[in-house]
Amino acid sequence: MKEWWKNAVVYQIYPRSFKDSNGDGIGDLQGIIQKLDYLEELGIDVIWLSPVYDSPNDDNGYDVRHYHKIMKEFGTMDDFDELLENVHKKGMRLIMDLVVNHTSDEHDWFRSRPDMYIWRDKPNNWRSFFGGSAWQYDEARGQYYLHLFSKKQPDLNWEKEGVRQAIYAMMRWWLDKGIDGFRMDVINMLSKDQRFPDGPAGDGTAYFINGPKIHHYLKEMNDEVLCHYDIVTVGETPQTGPEEGLRYTSPESRELNMIFTFEHMGVDQELGNKWQPRTYSLVELRKILEKWQSAFQEKGWNSLYWNNHDQPRSVSRFGDDHVYRVESAKMLATCLFFMRGTPFIYQGEELGMTNIQYEGIEKYKDIETLNHYHEQRKQGRSHEKIMQEIYRRGRDNARTPMQWTSGPNAGFTTGVPWIDINSNYRSINTESRHHPQSIFAYYQALISLRKKLPVLIAGDFMLFHKEDEEVFAYERKTETEHLIVYCNFSTNTRSFEQPDGEVLIGNYSKPARGKRLTLRPYEALVFYRQSET
Ligand code: NOJ
C-alpha cells in the first residue's frame, strides 16, 4: 500500500527509560534490541525513537550536539545499525526524531558557524517555554541569541539557505541509511517573523508559530528530501488549528503526512499555562476531537494519541488510576483506536502505567519541571502548591522507567536507575501480559482489529449523544461496514438503546445482559455490522 502509514500503529520509545542493557541505569539501544520480540508480540508496525543523537542532555536529547553520532549512554552507531537491521527483519519500521528548530549550544556550528543562529543586539520580550527570557547574552559576541527552549538550545536561523541545506543533507544521510521517516520536533516554529515584535505579556508565539515562511520551508524540504523516499513524516505542531493542520497534511500541499495536534492535550489547562488546571467537561474534549476528525475527513490525516514523553500518563489524567485503572486504560485505548488516523502508543501505555509523585523536588530530572519549581519558589509560592502542579502536569510522569518485571528495578536496569521507578511496578509490569484480561492483551486485540477492518481507514466519523457528559459515542461508516463505539468516561452505570450489530470488542469480560445497552464504569463496547449488498 502506498500510504502504508495509514494502516500502521506506531509505538514511541523514550530510549533513556526503556531498557538498560549495561547496568549504567540509563536505557540504551542494545536494550531496545533485546525488547524487539516484545514489540513484535504487541503487534506494532513502526517504532518512533525519541532522540538518540549525541547530546549533553540538557533536555534529554532534544539538544543535539552532533547529528551523525549516537549519544554515548545509548551506544554506538554500530548498535544503531544493528537495531535498524533487526527492526526491518521483523517487518517493522523505524522513525527518528528530527530536532532542527534548535541544536545544543555545544554543537560545533554554534561556535564555528554562529551565523547559523539568530542574533540580535537587543532582546524582545519573548519568553522561553522553559521559563525566563528567550534571549541569552553572549559576552564574546556582544549580542543576544534566541532560544525558544533552554538557553542550551539556541534556535537555528532557517532564513539562511546554508542552514536549510545543511539540515537537508543531514536528513538524507539518515534516510540513505534506511530509516523510515521522521517525527519532527516543534516543526511549526522554524519560521520567525523577522521584525521580532514584542508579544502581549511576553507571549511571542504569534510571531513564530506557523510563522510567515513555514509552508515554504516544508515544501522545500519535501521537494529536496522527503519526496524521494518511501517514508512517513509526523510534524509536532503546538497551537495549531485544523485549518492550518490541513495545510500541513493535504497531499496537494506536499509537506507532511500527519501532525500532532495539541488541542485535546490543552483541555485541562488554562490557555498558555500548562501548570494552571482548568475544569473541563467530556463535551468539550469530544468537541475538540470531533473538530479534527471532521476537518480531516476528506483530505489530510490525523495522528491519534493520548500520551507521549511530554504529557502526563493518560490513565491518571483522563481515566481512574486506582479502582478502575484496567478498565479505564482499555476504554481510553478503545476510544482512540477506532477514530480516523494513525494511533500512537507511548511506552508503558499498553500496561496502564500511571503518573508518579516523588516527595522531594531533587527526585525530578526534567528541566522544564525544575525551572518551574525554582522560578515559583522565588516568587514565594509554597513547596506543596508547586508540587501539586508537578504531580498533575510534570513531564517526568511519562519518563519513569518502563516496568518490565516485578523484580529488582522493575527489570529496567541492574544498576541505579537515572530516575526513580514508580513503586507500583510490583503489580504493573509486563509479566501479566499473557493473561487474557490484561491491558496488553487488549492492545494486541485492538491492533489486530485495525489491520482487519477497512472501515477504520475509509469510514466517515460521526458523533452521537453529543451532549452526554459521561459517554463518548461515535460511529464509523462506509457503504459496506458500520462500526459503533461506546466509551463510558465515568464511574456511573449508563443505559442506552441497544445498537445493531455484533460486539466486536469490549473491556469487560462480558457485556452486561439485558435488552438495553448497559455501560458499567469506564466500560467500552464496539459494535460492528456489514450492510447487505
Ligand atoms: C518538543 C519535545 O517533545 C520536547 O520534549 C522538547 O523539550 C521540546 N520540543 C524542545 O525540543
pLDDT at res. 256: 98
Q: How far is the CA of 194 from the centre of ligand 1 (A)?
A: 23
C-alpha cell at 459: 469510514
C-alpha cell at 448: 489486530
pLDDT at res. 532: 66
Q: Residue 279: what are its φ and ψ, rounded to 5°?
A: -80, 140
CA 473, distance to chain mean position in Å, is: 24
Cα-Cα-Cα-Cα dihedral sign, residues 509, 515, 520, 524? positive
C-alpha cell at 488: 463510558
Q: Which atom, in ligand 1's list, is nearest to the CA of 395? A: 5
Q: Indicate if ligand 1 lies below 6 Å from the C-beta of 99.
A: yes
The residues spanned by each domain of the chain are 4-100+161-447, 456-530
Q: Which atom, in ligand 1's list, is nearest to the CA of 99? A: 11
Nearest CA to ligand 1 atom 6: 62
Q: Indicate if ligand 1 lies below 6 Å from the C-beta of 185.
A: yes
pLDDT-based confidence at residue 511 (cuts at 50, 70, 90): confident
Closest by CA position to 402, among listed 114, 154, 38, 44: 38
Q: Reply yes or no on whether the pLDDT at 1 is more than 70.
A: no
Closest by CA position to 239, among listed 215, 207, 217: 207
What lies within 8 Å, CB to CB, of 509 at 6+ separation is 437
Q: Indicate if ligand 1 lies below 6 Å from the C-beta of 366.
A: no
Q: Which residues are catalytic?
A: 185, 236
Q: Measuring CA to CA, how many Å separate 383 from each of 130, 270, 373, 376, 389?
A: 19, 21, 8, 9, 10
Average pLDDT over residues 102-109: 98
Q: Indicate if ligand 1 lies below 6 Å from the C-beta of 398.
A: no
Q: Indicate if ligand 1 lies below 6 Å from the C-beta of 28.
A: no
Q: Which atom, in ligand 1's list, is nearest to the CA of 59? A: 7
Task: Name the residue of 185, 189, 370 to mutate for ligand 1: max ligand atoms within 8 A of Cβ.
Answer: 185
Q: Indicate if ligand 1 lies below 6 Å from the C-beta of 48.
A: no
Q: Which atom, in ligand 1's list, is nearest to the CA of 62? A: 11
Average pLDDT over residues 190-205: 97
pLDDT at res. 533: 57
Closest by CA position to 396, among listed 367, 371, 416: 367
User: Any idea which residue has 510567515 for its cell?
Assistant: 212
Q: How far is the CA of 99 from the centre of ligand 1 (A)?
A: 8
Q: How far apart are the first and last CA of the chain?
A: 26
Question: How confident is the model over 353-387, as pLDDT tens digits?
Answer: 999 999 999 999 999 999 999 999 999 999 999 99
Question: How confident is the model over 131-177, as pLDDT tens digits?
Answer: 999 999 999 999 999 999 999 999 999 999 999 999 999 999 999 99
Q: Which atom, in ligand 1's list, is nearest to the CA of 308? A: 3
CATH of domain 456-530: 2.60.40.1180
Average pLDDT over residues 87-92: 98
Strands (E), 242-389: 258-260, 269-270, 273-277, 303-304, 342-346
pLDDT at res. 119: 98
Q: Reply yes or no on whether the pLDDT at 55 is more than 70.
A: yes
Spatial separation of the C-alpha atoms in residues 208 and 135, rounded to whole Å: 14
Please provide the DSSP assignment of 31-48 as one string.
Answer: HHHHTHHHHHHHT--EEE
Topology alike, domains 4-100+161-447 and 456-530: no
Nearest CA to ligand 1 atom 2: 185
How many CB atoms are located within 10 Å of the residue 365 CB?
Answer: 18
Q: Indicate if ligand 1 lies below 6 Å from the C-beta of 186.
A: yes
Q: How far is the CA of 524 from the centre of ligand 1 (A)?
A: 33
Q: What is the chain's percent helix, strand, coil content, to nearest 5? A: 35, 20, 45
How many CB atoms are located within 10 Å of the residue 187 CB?
Answer: 26
Give yes or no for a contact between 268 and 317, defined as CB atoms under 8 angstroms apart: yes
Give yes or no for a contact between 522 and 331, defined as CB atoms under 8 angstroms apart: yes
pLDDT at res. 272: 86
Contacts by 370-373, CB closer than 8 A, 24 or more apart: 371/130, 371/131, 371/132, 371/150, 372/131, 372/275
C-alpha cell at 529: 455490522
Q: Indicate if ligand 1 lies below 6 Å from the C-beta of 292.
A: no
Closest by CA position to 85, among listed 162, 42, 29, 123: 29
What lies within 8 Å, CB to CB, of 41 at 6+ separation is 433, 444
How many CB atoms are located within 10 Å of the residue 508 CB?
Answer: 18
Question: How confident is the model over 213-272, as pLDDT tens digits?
Answer: 999 999 999 999 999 999 999 999 999 999 999 999 999 999 999 999 999 999 999 988
Q: How far is the CA of 185 from the centre of ligand 1 (A)?
A: 6
Q: How far is the CA of 61 from the centre of ligand 1 (A)?
A: 9
Q: What is the mean pLDDT of the chain?
A: 97
Contacts by 37-42, CB closer than 8 A, 24 or more apart: 38/430, 39/11, 39/92, 40/90, 40/92, 41/433, 41/444, 42/11, 42/345, 42/350, 42/440, 42/443, 42/444, 42/447
Spatial separation of the C-alpha atoms in residues 180 and 45, rounded to whole Å: 11
pTM for the model: 0.98
Cα-Cα-Cα-Cα dihedral sign, residues 411, 413, 416, 418? negative
Average pLDDT over residues 27-37: 99
Spatial separation of the C-alpha atoms in residues 212 and 189, rounded to whole Å: 10
pLDDT-based confidence at residue 71 (cuts at 50, 70, 90): very high
Q: Which atom, in ligand 1's list, is nearest to the CA of 149? A: 10
Question: How confident is the model over 255-305, as pLDDT tens digits?
Answer: 999 999 999 999 999 988 999 999 999 999 999 999 999 999 999 999 999
Q: Reply yes or no on whether the pLDDT at 399 is more than 60.
A: yes
Closest by CA position to 495, among listed 482, 478, 512, 509: 512
Q: Measuring CA to CA, how many Å separate 295 from each of 246, 249, 259, 365, 414?
A: 8, 11, 13, 38, 48
For residue 174, the surrounding DSSP H or E stretch is helix 161-177
Q: How far is the CA of 62 from the centre of ligand 1 (A)?
A: 6
Give yes or no for a contact between 402 and 347, defined as CB atoms under 8 angstroms apart: yes
Q: Indicate if ligand 1 lies below 6 Å from the C-beta of 59.
A: yes
pLDDT at res. 332: 98
Spatial separation of the C-alpha atoms in residues 508 and 505, rounded to whole Å: 9
Domain 4-100+161-447: CATH class, spelled out: alpha beta
